[in-house]
Structure formats: C-alpha cells, structure tokens
Structure 1
Amino acid sequence: MTRTQFGPFEAVFEKGELAVPGYLELLPLHQPGAQIVIDRVERALSAGDPARWVAALFRDVNWRPHLVGAIALLLDQSETLDSSLLWHAIDAGSWVTPQLVVTAVFVDPSFPERARVRVDAQCPVRVPAGLTPAERHSATGRDGLLGRSGKMMASLLAASAAIPSLERWAADLQRDARVEQLFKDDVWKKDEWNSSCEIVVAWMSNVRRAFLERGRTLAPRAT
C-alpha cells in the first residue's frame, strides 16, 4: 500500500500522538484515540477534492484505506461522496466487510436492494487479481472465496436487522440451508476475533456512540 496516493488522508494512517497507527483505532471505535482519528478524517475531507481521495481509498485492494473511507462517508453530511464505492470494496472481499456493511446502512438509501441482490446470488466475491499469496493475505485477510462470501452474507443479514423492511427477510434467511452453509464458512472466529455477525452488532453500536459524542445521530437511510 502506497499511501502517497491518498493525498490529505495520509495523515489518518500515521501514529502521531497515538499508541498505534491511526487506522487501527477505527477497528474497535471505542477507545479515546478514535476521536483523534475521526478528527483527522474530517480535516482531510476539508482539504480539497475529497471525492478524488475517497475514491482512491476504496479502490485500493488493502482493507486499511477502506476503513478510513468508511469514516469519510459517515462524516459527509453534504452527501456529495459516492456511497457506491463501499460496494466495490465489499464485492472484492475486503477484510473489513462487516464495518463497510454497517457504513452502507447509514449512508446508502439503496441498501435494501443492494443487500437482496447479493444475498440472492449467494454473495459472490471477486478477489483482486495480480497479488501474491503474501500480498493477498496482508491486503484482504486469510479467508478463501467461500470464507469471504460467508463474511459478506453474515454481515448483510446481521445489518439488515436494523432496517424494518428487511428484518423479517433476514431472520427467515438465516434458517435457509444454503445460508447456513455460508455461515459455516465465515470461519475467522479464532483467538479474540469474533464472527462477522458479532462485529456488525458491536461496530454499529460503537460507531453510533462515537458520532453521538460529536453531536451526530446516525440512523439507517432506508426504512
């Protein structure tokens, strides 16, 4: 990952006064450092040409810029940024798919349609080409194709519970045999890592709390 391509967003990745590189504070979003990093994202958005730089964040194969881009979309109250960029990263099997799906709930009014299309197709993933195994592991995580599809399926159905028009649909689908099999392939529940469903629930709560501290109430764009 060459962060020079991210213009004013380069500062978001830096460690600076934090104990860890900035993007890592966005994974849990419940530590005090998270607000420092969100401030950095906000400054980057106001530095000029945000559409160009946010698009660059999401077009990178690496999950780290995706997480920064998600916060940028959540901060974009003018709604001038392209929320469909989220889906480009989700469809490529981003390691932070649960966080990106949560972001989509809050920024994309077409979330119900996009979620249904993917779930109906069993959440196909197009892994970025041209990466060595080591590069792929660093950029997108350790999952294979089925694992990435399972992660997307679990994330979409868990996030759909926050949208009234999708709540019953998502609950019914979780009892579908094909969906149950994909859930089994969401196999990154090791050590201290949680399943994608649990990450969606936790990150949705944490991001709402983080923005509430900034005077913003996040709510699903679709009903």
Structure 2
Amino acid sequence: MSELDFGIFKDFWNGHPNHLPLMGLHNDNNEPAEWNLNKSLERLDIICDGNDQGLIIEGIHKLLNNEDWRPHLVAIMASFKLEQTEQKKLIPELWNRLEKGSWISPQILSVLSIIDSEFEIKAEEILNNGFKVNFSPMEMAKYHSSRGPEGSKGASEKVINSIKSLLENKNDDFGWKGNLIRLIESKKFKINTKHNNELS
C-alpha cells in the first residue's frame, strides 16, 4: 500500500499489513511481534503527532478516496486525531464513502454513530427508505481484493444490517464500537484533546 499516494499515511504499512489489527481492535495472543494492534496504534500516533491538522486531513481524504477498504480503516481511526470541528467536516465524506461502497461499512457506521449527532435520524431514514451502494467500474481482477466478495446488493444489505445492530445495541460494549471506546477510555488509543468531551 505504501507506493500509493496517501500523503503522510503512505508509510503506515512499512511492509506489514498494519491495517489488519484495526479490523477488530482487540489484542490477539497470536499476533506477530512485527505487526499487531499496539504497533498499528503507535504508528498512527507517530504519524499524526508529527504533522499538523491540515496534513492529517489531506491524508484522510486520500485514504477515503481510494476504492480499497484497507485505507478506509486507517482513515476512520485517524479521524479521531482531529479537533472536533475538523472531524465534523468529515461526516458527509464518510456517508459518501458508504454510498460508494466499502467492505468496512460496519466500522464506518460505528464511527458515524459516535461523531454524527444526527446519526439516528439518518439511520432511521435509511431503514425506512432503503440504501443502495453504487460501486464505480473496476476490473474484476481487482474487485474482490479491494471490495470483498459482496456485490452492490450484498454491500447495501450489509449497511442496513449494521445500522439495525447499532440502533438495537446502543451500549458501548457492542462489537467494534465497544472495542474502540474501551481503547479510548483506557488511553491506549490517544484521541485529540479538543475532541468530543464524552470521549476525552
């Protein structure tokens, strides 16, 4: 991934699949010493602590604009390194990413349920009116790797099912969202101090 133009995040991977631990956000006893959740969060800290907000935002845009789901994971985690006012500006882009399709739509929706004050209103609208993922054309050889095995219909259903789960399980112990909040509360994942008071 490092050869692609991801701005300040281009070296996040450093030859290892550092995005993978972000899929579940929990430590695994079988994680290799070279890459694991702690190292992934540490790399994110180093990148974001060493650059200003403008470069972080620019990098997040580049990550989200890629059709591959792996950069999307890094982008949503990096969004918590932004000041709250800047993070709020990302909300339309995250919803737009869902419409374009992402294999990690459940994780994106979990972040939106935290940072978007209108999440429940938008979620109910989707449940009432439906949701359609519109993938852009892509060579079949790249499709599975970048987007997972789902077609547009499966990806759309995944968004709807994830929304149902988030609305039905609003406590912080649920799945990926719960793991994220526990990492933030335990200070294992450092967020911007000018962030939402509920998470600081």
Give the length in aligned residue pairs. 181
Secondary structure of residue in 1 paired with 2:103: coil
Match of 1:132 among 112, 115, 139: 139
Cα offsets for 1:151-209 (capped at 9, x unmatched): 00011111123559xxxxxxxxxxxxxxxxxxxxxxxxxxxxxxxxxxx9321121122
Provide the residue aligned with 1:10 in structure 2.
Answer: 10
Within 2, Cα distance between the matches of 1:35 and 1:110? 32
Q: Specify the code of the residue in structure 2 equivalent to 1:25.
A: P
Shift in CA distance, 158/3, structure 1 to aligned 2, threshold 3 Å: farther
Aligned equivalent of 1:109, options 99, 111, 117? 117
Query: How has the CA–CA distance of structure 1 residues 8 and 126 changed in structure 2, closer, same or farther, with 3 Å as cutoff?
Result: same
- The one of 23, 26, 30 aligned to 1:27: 23
* Percent identity for Structure 1 against Structure 2: 23
TM-score (norm 2): 0.78
Whole-Å separation in 2 of the counterparts to 1:201 and 1:76: 24
What is the rounded CA distance, in whole Å, between the counterparts of 1:2 and 1:118 in structure 2? 36
1:44 aligns with 2:17: no
The corresponding residue for 2:31 is none
Match for 2:129: what amino acid?
Answer: A
Distance in 2, matches of 1:141 and 1:220, equals 36
Offset at residue 2 of structure 1 (A): 6.5
- Whether contact under 8 Å (2:91, 2:116) holds in the other structure is yes
| Closer, same or farther: CA 134–61 of 1 in aligned 2, 3 Å | same
User: Within the alignment, does 1:151 sit opposite 2:158 as a pair?
Assistant: yes
**TM superposition shift of 1:76:** 2.5
Matched with 1:65 is 71
Structure 2 unmatched runs, 5+: 29-35
Report the equivalent of 1:193: none
Q: CA deviation at 1:135?
A: 1.1
Shift in Å at residue 61 of structure 1? 0.7
Structure 2 partner of 1:100: 108
Q: Distance in 2 between matches of 1:156 and 1:63?
A: 19
Q: Does the 8 Å contact 2:2/2:14 carry over to 1?
A: no
Matched-pair contact (CA < 8 Å) for 2:101–2:133: yes
RMSD (CA atoms): 2.8
Determine if contact 2:101/2:147 at 8 Å carries over to the other structure: yes
Give the secondary structure class of the aligned counterpart of 2:20. helix
Which residue of 1 is the match for residue 60 of structure 2?
A: 54
Does the aligned pair in 2 maintain the 1:74–1:103 contact within 8 Å? no
Deviates more, 1:82-91 or 1:137-146: 82-91
- The match for 2:97 among 89, 96, 104 is 89
Using the TM superposition, name which of 145-154 and 212-221 deviates more. Answer: 212-221
Aligned partner (choices 81, 86, 101) of residue 75 of structure 1: 81
